Amino acid sequence: MAVTRTGLKARPKKQRRMSGQERRRQIVRAAMDLFARKGFKGTTTKEIALAAGVNEAMIFRHFPTKGDLYAAIIDYKMDQCGEWISRVHEEAARRKDDRAMFLALARGILAFHEQDGTFMRLLLYSALEGHELNRMFFETQVVEHFEFLADYIAQRVRDGAFRPVNPRVAARAFLGMITHHAQVRELFDPQGRLLNVDSDAAAAELVDIFLAGVARR
């Protein structure tokens, strides 16, 4: 207990106790950082507890199984990304505004990874290790966006706006352009030696290149 100038002992300030939701997020962030640096096989729950500043039992209280923790990591990242991105590209798709739809999707993917490069490393680790997180993310996020995009391209082919391309190949090509740019920027060339443009400019250029290739002239 500290002593004041008057000689009286001052009571220490009480630290605000974290809510259960805050504690849960703290554990998730610590787990993400460790998994991204050490992989899943090289990370223990004891290390996660130490990094999160909790005891190991607290982790199992919030996440009874590893699957619960992995699902929470995905939810955490999707919350960070924001629902507005999905709303924007879905609304543009209903209007059949091709550039606005592809641009919203491209910006959303780049923003998702730009906010925190940790998750990209996590996905690569999980893919290389054949980890459950990779399967969970692929089935809950990647498949949904891919099917939405392929269906949209197929509709625009039927409308006569796009050339008669294979919708699934075209969807793979577009998503590949955007994710490759995100990977190079985050993992290999963060200083922008090869391509020094901001995310909005990169998204706009890539979308224009893609649409120039599929649009019916």
pLDDT tens digits, 22-63: 888 899 889 888 887 887 777 888 899 999 899 889 998 998
| 142 is a domain residue | yes
Whole-structure pTM value: 0.72
172 lies in which domain range?
81-214
Q: Give the C-alpha separation, 166 to 150, whole Å.
A: 9
| 11 is a domain residue | no
| 143 is a domain residue | yes
Kindly report the CATH number assigned to the domain that includes residue 203.
Answer: 1.10.357.10
Q: How many domains does the chain have?
A: 2
| pLDDT one digit per residue (tens) for the chain, 217 residues | 555 555 555 555 555 556 678 888 899 889 888 887 887 777 888 899 999 899 889 998 998 877 788 778 777 776 665 554 566 678 888 999 999 999 999 998 888 788 777 778 877 877 887 777 777 778 877 888 899 999 999 999 999 999 999 999 999 999 999 999 999 988 889 898 999 999 999 999 999 999 999 999 7
Q: Are 103 and 202 in contact (CB under 8 A)?
A: no
Domain co-membership, 132 together with 101: yes
